[in-house]
Homo-oligomer: A and B are copies of this chain.
Amino acid sequence: MIRIGILGYGNLGRGVECAVKQNPDMELAAVFTRRNPADVKILTESVPVCAISDVPKWKDKIDVLILCGGSATDLPEQTPVYAELFHVVDSFDTHARIPEHFAHVDAAAKKGGKVGIISVGWDPGMFSLNRLYANAILPQGKDYTFWGRGVSQGHSDAIRRVEGVKDARQYTVPVEAALEAVRGGENPDLTTRQKHTRECFVVLKDGADAAKVEEEIKTMPNYFADYDTTVHFISQEELDQNHKGIPHGGFVIRSGHTGWNGENSHLIEYSLKLDSNPEFTACVLAAYARAAYRLGQEGVTGCKTVFDIAPAYLSPKDGAELRAALL
């Protein structure tokens, strides 16, 4: 059994807890929180909730620690610290800072003789893998990534900061016509506006000016100004009832040409349609926790990404079983 620890018990941590339950070769050893442990109720009976300061005491009782904090401030600090003590897996997703994070985790994991797998999830993660495979197979081609339809937490938060807004939920929506043009092999050059639209469901505070709120959202730099944005004003009840889920997904497409003169077209498409973004991300983290454990058993140390790990390490089946069943 692979003994799993979870650090951070929000949506992602709870997702990892559910994923561990589905993997018969894993068991949950402990959950660590920055909150008062007595205030945190988890789903798994008889598993302790511990203070984050207790983590080092679990050094010999946990094989892989799955880090479920945020990329802005938690993971850049936590992943290197705990990679000295355990094999770790995180979902660090600030693309521009990945090289720096990789270097820190690599140094720490090597020092501790551990494996640290970073940027695991679906983007970065499964989408990255599909970009790599498709690029290697079709050197002459063009990449497209579309996200959605799904909830963007960052954009929802941005709307909530607008004066007069009580609550909000933002959906990122791929433009169907753009998807179809890509699938048709047209290799279009697409602007930001042509690829995605943004759909906002907003609950106003009493007395707020709807027209002003809508204008402020639609013209917000970085978040909305470059997109066609629609704003729907709804009641808190409606938001709670119809928009409480955290669905997401998207499409990675590579369109390329082969033949002596590039005469044949090919399309590789990978897509995800997810009811729960954090639960799916958690499932990917769990699979890579298995890989971290196994690589560790082989004496491998240092930082890895999804690019560095042979697919077989993710499966509980051995090589012969995999070749017979899935090849």
Residues of A participating in the B interface, judged by any CB pair closer than 8 Å? 15, 17-19, 21-23, 43, 95, 98-99, 102, 119, 124, 126, 128-133, 135-140, 183, 258-260, 264-276, 279-280, 282-284, 287, 290, 305-312, 314-316, 319-320, 322-324, 326-327
Q: How many copies of this chain sit in the oligomeric assembly?
A: 2
Question: What is the minimal beta-carbon distance from A41 to any residue of chain B, in angstroms?
Answer: 13
- Given A137-B287, A309-B310, A280-B260 contact (CB < 8 Å): no
State A235–B55 Cα separation when bound (angstroms). Answer: 76
The interface centre, meaning the residue of A95, A305, A311, A327 with most chain B CB atoms within 10 A of its CB, is A327
Given contacts A323-B98, A323-B99, A327-B307, contact A258 B287 (CB under 8 A): no
In contact, B22 and A132 (Cβ under 8 angstroms): no
Kindly state the separation between the CA atoms of A16 and B135 in the bound complex, as whole angstroms.
Answer: 16
B279 adjacent to A275 (CB under 8 Å): no
| CA of A14 to CA of B56, assembled, Å | 59
Q: Are B305 and A283 in contact (CB under 8 A)?
A: no
Chain B residues with CB under 8 Å of A320's CB are 99
The answer to whether A129 touches B308, judged by C-beta atoms less than 8 angstroms apart, is: no
Given A98-B324, A307-B323, A310-B308: A264 and B279 interface contact (C-beta under 8 Å): yes
* A283-B137 contact given A99-B324, A273-B266, CB 8 Å threshold: yes
Taking a contact as CB atoms closer than 8 A, the residue among B259, B268, B315 that contacts A272 in the complex is B268
Which of A132, A137, A274, A290 has the most C-beta atoms of chain B within 10 angstroms of its own C-beta? A137
Max count, chain B CB within 10 A of own CB: residue among A136, A183, A260, A315: A136
Closest 5 CB pairs of A and B: A136-B314, A264-B275, A258-B279, A267-B273, A307-B312
Least CB distance from A61 to B in Å reads 24
Q: B residues within 8 A CB of A324?
A: 98-99
